[in-house]
Structure 1
Amino acid sequence: MHALSGVAEVLGLPSRKHDPSPFALMAQIEKGLAVEALDRVAALLAPGDSGFRFDIVPRATLARRKAGGLLSADEGTRVARLARVWSLALDVWETPEAARGFLFRPHAMLEDGRPVDVVIRSEIGAELVLGLLGRLKYGTAA
């Protein structure tokens, strides 16, 4: 698993000197991530695309969530998956622009799907993309 401190930072959770506990992160997601976590992730992955956040949480649902201030556990899990992938993509590609280029460009090993869409779709999709990024990081075929 990629360093949880990077994931927590992307989500805008309070920083700690050491990696946060995986159980603390899971509990925070189950309790409900702040809607601002979605805003942060959307701004990092797709700056200038105000509609990208609705690919993660539908518009009407997000309007309801903003009233309460918290995402559901499922929505928070989706946002945390994106944060995890973004953190590793940034580590591999080294610049936000290059990381976005990878995430938003169709990839043959994902049946020509865009990695970002595959991650949003499911946890299995996220594992596929994380696997690709791991192979890129360590110099094997991807």
Structure 2
Amino acid sequence: MLAIANVADVLGLPGREGVKSPFGLITRIEDGLPVDALERIARLLAPTDTQFKYRLVPRATFERRKRAAFRLSSEEGMRVARLARVWNLSVEVWGSEEEARNFLFRPHAMLEDRRPVDVVIQSEIGAELVLDILQGLKYGSAA
């Protein structure tokens, strides 16, 4: 299991109360992650793609969230946190952000030639498949 503190850090939440345990992170997501968490993960994964964040939250919804609540819905937050988990392990496995991006944005044979980032965004099961590949690389099995 990935360290909750690392995921919270990727989301820009370190040092805030309630993010010291998995349930603390779940509570933060359910209460609504700040819109900044979405913008942060988008900048980390796709620093040159200003449209990437709209793959996680549609543009109109993003603009509403930014104007009014400044918080993501629970479902949106789960998508962002899921991507943060995968990003965190990708950087750990590949040793650099650039190599992690190369992995995430290149089609992978074990994902039926889909890009890992697309599979992660699509569903929790997809994220687990990508995490399995990364853990296999980290711990020495074929991936």
* TM-score where L is the length of structure 2: 0.95
What SS does structure 1 have at the residue aligned with 2:60? Answer: helix
* Alpha-carbon RMSD: 1.1
- 1:1-142 correspondence runs (5 A): 1-15=1-15, 20-67=20-67, 68-142=69-143
CA distance in 2, matches of 1:113, 1:54: 19
CA distance in 1, matches of 2:94, 2:125: 22
Paired residues of 2:136 and 2:142 also in contact (CA < 8 A): yes
Count of aligned residue pairs for this structure pair: 140
The one-letter amino acid paired with 1:34 is P
Identity %: 64
Deviations 1:61-85 (A, max 9, x none): 1111112100000000000000000
CA distance in 2, matches of 1:138, 1:60: 42
CA distance in 2, matches of 1:106, 1:95: 19
CA distance in 1, matches of 2:20, 2:126: 24
The one-letter amino acid paired with 1:50 is T
Runs (4+) off by over 6 Å: none
Q: Following TM superposition, by how much is the alpha carbon of 1:48 offset from its aligned partner in structure 2, in angstroms? A: 1.1
Deviations 1:100-126 (A, max 9, x none): 000000001101110000000000000
CA distance in 1, matches of 2:126, 2:78: 13
The one-letter amino acid paired with 1:131 is D
Q: Following TM superposition, by how much is the alpha carbon of 1:14 offset from its aligned partner in structure 2, in angstroms? A: 2.8
Paired residues of 2:5 and 2:14 also in contact (CA < 8 A): no
| Unpaired runs of at least 5, structure 1 | none
Paired residues of 2:29 and 2:78 also in contact (CA < 8 A): yes
What SS does structure 2 have at the residue aligned with 1:140? Answer: coil
* TM-score where L is the length of structure 1: 0.96
| Unpaired runs of at least 5, structure 2 | none
